Amino acid sequence: MTYLITGCAGFIGSHLAERLVRKGEKVIGIDSFTPNYSRSIKEENLKWLKTQPNFTFYESDLLTFNLNSIAPLLNGSITIFHLAAYPSVRAGWGEDFETFARNNIFATQRLLDWAKDKDIKKFIFASTSSIYGDTQKLPMIEEDPLNPVSPYGLTKLAAEKLCLIYHKYFNLPIVVLRYFTVYGPRQRPDMAFHKFIKAIIEEKELEVYGDGTQTRDFTYIDDIIDATIASENAPAGKIFNIGGGERRVLNEVIHLLEDIIGKKAKIKYTQPQRGDVKDTLADYTKAKEVLGYNPRTPIEEGLRNQIQWQRTTYDSL
């Protein structure tokens, strides 16, 4: 059995690769080091993995990489975790849309087209809560209407639909996971918790888009990895919400960070950003019933772990 992970140098991808490698699994990782944040952070994410004999890494773009070149490493069936994407709900407007379409739609289609002729045990696609859009219906269930309000959400929805089309017409064993606001060690530096923690520690101004009353269903990285690995044994063609059961008001989270760090935040409220939604909350009943998913990390514990990581590893990069 071999595991192929795209986007393996990123926040979620590196955690997933480590979990599998520590279990003794054979893992192939692909990442193109897109310039959405510092390469040094992604290199650090891979540092331990690159010392492991059961991990093979390719630095390449999925749109140009010769996927058949990994054939000598394969032995039997493959499970693909397709996590590679160009993220950010606030970007992708104007000429930048091409970058999102290229990385999120075209790269996915090329990987699907390669996989359809291979011995695939499961093709797991990492989708996002952003595809639901700015709905007032909470909690969100998998059958809800999908109305993304950002270029990122739109391209992820298109990629998700592509996956399901390949399942329908080529019998590719697709499973879709819709992640809800993931946080924890290695979180990208453009994400809210990362920016808030850094600002509070450094006693700098902390920018909040809107009035801070928006809510999110925050999901800790370890819980995300639990669900992602469990999805390998899910029935093909299924879609699952993966939330943390920790819906919190943003202002409340900032106060919690103040308490943990021991410093006051210097908050500056600014205009809401295009692409942001007011609230999210996952109904993860299906994931609980089918995957045995049960998020186990309280937000206080998760935030302490992220703060510790930012104070040590990240600040040295």
Segments making up each domain of the chain, as ranges:
2-188+219-245+279-296
Q: What is the pLDDT, as a whole number, of residue 235?
A: 98
Cα distance between residue 33 and residue 189, in whole Å:
15
Structure confidence at residue 317 (pLDDT): 62
Q: Is the Cβ–Cβ distance between 33 and 9 less than 8 Å?
A: yes
Specify the CATH architecture of the domain 2-188+219-245+279-296. Answer: 3-Layer(aba) Sandwich (3.40)
Backbone angles phi, psi at 91, to 5 degrees: -110, -175
DSSP 27: E
Count CB atoms within 10 A of the CB of residue 294. 12
Gap between the Cα atoms of 267 and 52, Å rounded: 43
Number of other CB atoms surrounding residue 190 within 10 Å: 13
Write down the pLDDT at residue 90: 82
Report CA 160 to chain centroid distance, whole Å. 14
108-158 pLDDT per residue, tens: 999 999 999 999 999 999 999 999 999 999 999 999 999 999 999 999 999
- With the C-alpha atoms ordered 101, 103, 105, 110, is the resulting torsion angle positive or negative? positive
Residues of the chain with pLDDT under 50: none
The 10 Å Cβ neighbour count of residue 79 is 22
Q: Name the residues annotated as catalytic.
A: 152
For residue 313, the model assigns a pLDDT of 85
Coil, helix or strand at residue 293 = coil
d(CA 98, CA 93): 9
pLDDT of residue 72: 87
Measure Cα distances from 116 to 111, 123, 176, 217, 264 in Å: 9, 10, 16, 34, 53
Question: 26-31 and 55-59: which strand pairing?
Answer: parallel
pLDDT score at 76: 86
The count of other CB atoms within 10 Å of the CB of residue 60 is 15
